[in-house]
Amino acid sequence: MAEYGESIVKRFLDNKGLKVNKIEEGDEQTPDFEVFKDFQRILFCEEKTLEYDDFVGAKSDSTYNAISRHMHKAVKQFKSVNPNHELPNVLAFVNLDTLKDMHDLFITLTGYALLDNGSYMKIRRVGHRTIEDISHVDLILWFDKDQFINYLWKDDINNETKKYLEKLL
Span 30-55, pLDDT tens digits: 999 999 999 999 999 999 999 876 55
Partnered with residue 140 across adjacent β-strands are 91, 152
In CATH, what class is 2-168? alpha beta
Q: What is the Cα–Cα distance from 53 to 30, expressed in whole angstroms? A: 26
Q: How many CA atoms lie within 13 A of 124 on its CB side?
A: 18
Predicted TM-score (pTM) of this structure? 0.90
Cβ neighbours around 80 below 10 Å, total: 15
Measured at the CA of 111, the angle between CA 106 and CA 114, to 5 degrees, comes to 55
Q: Which residues contact 22 (CB under 8 A, 6 or more apart)?
A: 6, 10, 32, 33
**Which pLDDT does position 25 carry in this prediction?**
83
Q: Is the pLDDT of residue 56 over 60?
A: no
Span 66-83, pLDDT tens digits: 899 999 999 999 999 999
Q: What is the Cα–Cα distance from 108 to 93, expressed in whole angstroms? A: 13
Average pLDDT over residues 111-118: 92
